[in-house]
Amino acid sequence: MKLDMLLIEDDQDLAATVIQFLNMEGIRCDHAGNGLQGLTLASQHRYDVILLDLNLPRLDGISLCQRLRQAGNDTPVLMLTARDQLADKLEGFSAGTDDFLVKPFELQELLVRVQALARRRSGQVRLLHYADLSMDIDRRQVSRAGHPLKLSPTGWHLLETLLRHAPAVVSRQALEEAVWGDELPDSNSLKVHMFHLRKAVDGGFAVSLLRTVPGHGFALNEGGDEKPTQP
């Protein structure tokens, strides 16, 4: 798995060691020496994982992570810290980090953590966007082109899952598990709920976003399906 990473760390010796090790493992790594530079790079490029030091000059790691999540950036964040205190970790998770690694750490453990995080986008982001569709998790609001949409609780979970993966295809199984967990519904339930979701998302709009991918699942894509018909 070829990875692109961003290391935001002001300790130049540690940064050089980490970058050299990651390069040997085939992982490309950009480096920022302070929080503001790191925020700029993270906002301008799409990385698989961000390695973020907690204590940084110009902008600390907690504030940087908060800004990324508020902007809708869902890149997984592994926070590096010299403090192994529960309060610090709780603050970091609240800000939107996905995992912690306490200094000093073994490079092999860093590699394992990075590879695990790179397999998914972060679920910590609270503001989701695709095209003119947006969802505010904390305010429980969803809108398209500024117009509020009304969704059922099931429709909300389906749309959140699709938005977190957009524009990639989400399998029927993944959607069912996101809503119903291990207690899967009858075979028509997903079809009926997707019909109502499509009506809410695409009804009245010139461009359809919700697309069915036969044999695979569903996706939010600007080349979407025709208008919904009865399920």
pLDDT of residue 140: 86
Q: Beta partners for 212?
A: 218
The rounded average pLDDT for each run of 10 residues, N- to C-terminus, in the chain (231 residues) is 89 96 94 97 91 95 91 86 80 87 93 83 69 86 93 89 86 85 74 92 91 91 59 53
| pLDDT at residue number 124 | 57
**Range list of H helices, 82-208:** 86-95, 107-118, 153-165, 172-180, 189-202
pLDDT in tens, 9-28: 999 999 999 999 999 999 99
For residue 26, give both structure tokens.
């085939």
pLDDT digits (tens, 9 = 90+) for 47-91: 989 999 999 999 999 999 999 988 878 788 999 988 777 787 888
Looking at residue 46, its pLDDT comes to 84
